[in-house]
């Protein structure tokens, strides 16, 4: 069973002719009305409207809700990696499970059985009894299409005159001469255009006509269709707000601009990170990620978003965090496999492999970087992230008991392939404060203890309490 415009429809007994459809009581609605009604029903029932979306509860989501109630076309404005595309795709949740359409050969759109827009469909209805008019059903997942702007031509999304039809004798000024683009083909559905400012101006004019008049005009031939389509856009503020990138008439016709943002708290970023990373932490070589290591990965991204060496106009995507998290876990798992350790516990030394997962994801500010390489910028960002996270642990838990151990002249060598037992030898007794501060069992697990030791050492170095020397891929910390 599925719900169709306020009534229950048995999927096995859906109407198959226009007569059966009319007898069923099905009512025609615009896409925006359909989405509004389903949204209201789901909102009143307390359903999860936007599954998988974290951190937008008080900012972005209320604006989307209002836009849906208002029946607006929407533009999602934000930097890369802010879930703009995901939010656009989630709009299909507010469509019916399936809608009926006229199953007539030669009709390029999914026609509303009661209100067809093409002359071919209109003539068919005039010439046939309702019992002879076939009905098929268009599923929700097929009623959404999206396009990336670069390289998109007018013919791709609006349409073009079809030369083969002209050769066959069809008049150029008629709708039969058209080859429909994506937007007309999404009549009664949702069309999303990514990176709106990158669209050619001619295409933008075509979109303006659709938003304003809901018609298709090709090569000067105004062929009117009562198109019923929801249009969604995405854009980066740095290009959308640049003069001349988007024609004013098009901007003026977009109903609501939904401004997205990066996570405003680190814990929300970590929640997104762990949800999206897709890391299997079980299996033959299970992984245990100490929370402070997840904090460092997310703080690296936060520092990159604030760095004067990084071009902030381009943004630092959440994919930066995801790639780094996966690389860190993979490094820990490699160590566990080679050394036969379980569980695999990521350490600070695993961050030495983040260059491979990070390089290319940061765009340097040529004015602010002062000829620094991308690797040097990343090293600086990682060091600052470790310092910030460790300082917060020091502020919260003191950790003087821990710091004192390493101030007594203990010399500790660390490395991503060093056995965890080597750390245990350097630190026989685990200070009781560790269990409270790190929320991991460092006293009975050598891999966890090794991770804690490296965090403390890297933190003390970041605060200039101890020195560090690096040689042949291994790092030595000493007073």
| Domain at 12, CATH number | 3.40.50.300
Residues 7 and 37 placed together within one structural domain of the fold: yes
Neighbours of 164 (CB within 10 A): 9
Residues 179 and 276 placed together within one structural domain of the fold: no
Residues 283 and 230 placed together within one structural domain of the fold: no
Among 213, 236, 259, identify where a domain stops. Answer: 259
Residues 33 and 83 placed together within one structural domain of the fold: yes
CA distances from 141 to 92, 93, 111, 145, 222 (A): 7, 9, 17, 9, 31
Question: So what's the pLDDT on residue 7?
Answer: 46
d(CA 193, CA 85): 9
User: In sequence order, which residues have a C-beta less than 8 Å from that of residue 473 and are 6 or more positions away?
Assistant: 352, 415, 416
d(CA 3, CA 1): 7
The per-residue pLDDT string of the chain (479 residues; one tens digit each, 9 = 90 and over) reads 455 544 445 566 899 999 999 999 999 999 999 999 999 999 999 999 999 999 999 999 999 999 999 999 999 999 988 999 999 999 999 999 999 999 999 888 999 999 999 888 999 999 999 999 999 999 999 999 999 888 888 878 877 766 565 555 565 555 665 678 888 889 999 999 999 999 988 889 888 878 877 666 665 555 667 889 999 999 999 899 888 899 999 999 999 999 999 999 999 999 999 999 888 888 889 999 999 999 999 999 999 999 988 888 777 888 899 999 999 999 999 999 999 999 999 999 999 899 999 888 888 876 655 677 888 889 999 999 999 999 988 887 776 766 666 666 667 778 888 898 887 776 666 677 777 777 777 667 889 888 988 888 888 888 887 778 777 667 877 76
Q: Which helix (H) or strand (E) holds 9?
A: strand 7-9
CA 29 from chain center: how many Å?
A: 30
R_g (Cα) of the chain, nearest Å: 29
User: In sequence order, which residues have a C-beta less than 8 Å from that of residue 43 and are 6 or more positions away?
Assistant: 49, 65
Question: So what's the pLDDT on residue 366?
Answer: 65
CA distances from 424 to 288, 297, 328, 412, 458 (A): 18, 25, 22, 11, 17
d(CA 427, CA 417): 18
Residues 95 and 174 placed together within one structural domain of the fold: yes
Residues 221 and 364 placed together within one structural domain of the fold: no
Selection from 452, 7, 56, 6 nearest residue 262 by Cα:
56
d(CA 94, CA 67): 13
Residues 283 and 233 placed together within one structural domain of the fold: no
Question: So what's the pLDDT on residue 407?
Answer: 65
Residues 453 and 328 placed together within one structural domain of the fold: yes
Residues 415 and 453 placed together within one structural domain of the fold: yes
| Containing structural domain, residue 236 | 2-259
Selection from 377, 331, 352 nearest residue 458 by Cα:
352
d(CA 89, CA 437): 41
Question: So what's the pLDDT on residue 71?
Answer: 96
DSSP character at residue 78: -
Residues 215 and 316 placed together within one structural domain of the fold: no
Residues 275 and 235 placed together within one structural domain of the fold: no
Among 239, 259, 279, identify where a domain stops. Answer: 259
Question: So what's the pLDDT on residue 211?
Answer: 81
Among 241, 259, 277, identify where a domain stops. Answer: 259
CA 392, 398, 401, 407: dihedral to nearest 10 degrees? Answer: 60
Selection from 44, 37, 45, 89 nearest residue 68 by Cα:
37
d(CA 389, CA 391): 6
Domain count of the fold of the chain: 2
Residues 240 and 332 placed together within one structural domain of the fold: no
């Amino acid at each position: 069973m599925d719900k169709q415009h306020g009534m229950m429809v048995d999927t096995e007994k859906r109407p198959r002719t226009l007569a059966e459809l009319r007898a069923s009581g099905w009512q025609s609605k615009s896409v925006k009305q359909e989405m509004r009604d389903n949204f209201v029903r789901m909102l009143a029932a307390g359903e999860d409207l936007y599954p998988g979306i974290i951190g937008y509860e008080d900012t972005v989501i209320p604006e989307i809700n209002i836009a849906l109630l208002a029946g607006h076309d929407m533009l999602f404005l934000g930097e890369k990696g802010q879930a703009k595309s995901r939010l656009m795709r989630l709009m299909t949740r507010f469509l019916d499970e399936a809608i009926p359409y006229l199953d007539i050969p030669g009709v390029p759109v999914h026609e509303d059985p009661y209100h067809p827009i093409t002359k071919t469909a209109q003539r068919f209805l005039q010439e046939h009894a309702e019992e002879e008019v076939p009905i098929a059903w268009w599923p929700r997942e097929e009623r959404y299409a999206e396009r990336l702007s670069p390289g998109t031509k007018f013919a791709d999304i609006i349409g073009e005159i079809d030369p083969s039809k002209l050769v066959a004798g069809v008049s150029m000024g008629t709708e039969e001469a058209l080859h429909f683009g994506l937007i007309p083909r999404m009549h009664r559905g949702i069309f999303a255009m990514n990176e709106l400012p990158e669209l050619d101006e001619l295409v933008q004019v075509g979109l303006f006509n659709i938003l304003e008049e809901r018609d298709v005009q090709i090569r000067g031939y105004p062929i009117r269709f009562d198109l019923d389509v929801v249009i969604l856009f995405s854009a980066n503020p740095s290009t959308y707000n640049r003069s001349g990138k988007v024609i004013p008439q098009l901007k003026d016709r977009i109903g609501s601009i939904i401004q997205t943002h990066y996570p405003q708290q680190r814990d929300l970023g970590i929640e997104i990170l762990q949800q999206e990373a897709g890391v299997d932490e079980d299996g033959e070589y299970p992984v245990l990620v100490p929370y402070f290591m997840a904090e460092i990965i997310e703080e690296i991204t936060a520092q990159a978003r604030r760095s004067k060496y990084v071009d902030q106009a381009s943004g630092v995507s959440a994919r930066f965090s995801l790639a780094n998290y996966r690389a860190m876990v993979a490094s820990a798992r490699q160590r566990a496999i080679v050394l036969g350790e379980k569980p695999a516990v990521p350490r600070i030394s695993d961050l030495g492999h983040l260059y491979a997962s990070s390089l290319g994801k940061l765009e340097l500010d040529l004015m602010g970087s002062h000829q620094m390489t991308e690797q040097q910028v990343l090293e600086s960002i990682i060091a600052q992230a470790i310092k910030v996270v460790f300082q917060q642990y020091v502020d919260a838990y003191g950790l003087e008991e821990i710091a004192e151990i390493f101030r007594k002249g203990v010399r500790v060598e660390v490395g991503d392939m060093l056995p965890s037992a080597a750390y245990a030898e350097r630190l026989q007794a685990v200070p009781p404060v560790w269990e409270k501060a790190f929320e991991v069992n460092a006293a009975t697990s050598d891999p966890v203890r090794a991770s804690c030791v490296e965090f403390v050492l890297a933190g003390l170095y970041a605060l200039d309490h101890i020195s560090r020397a690096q040689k042949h891929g291994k790092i030595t910390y000493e007073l």
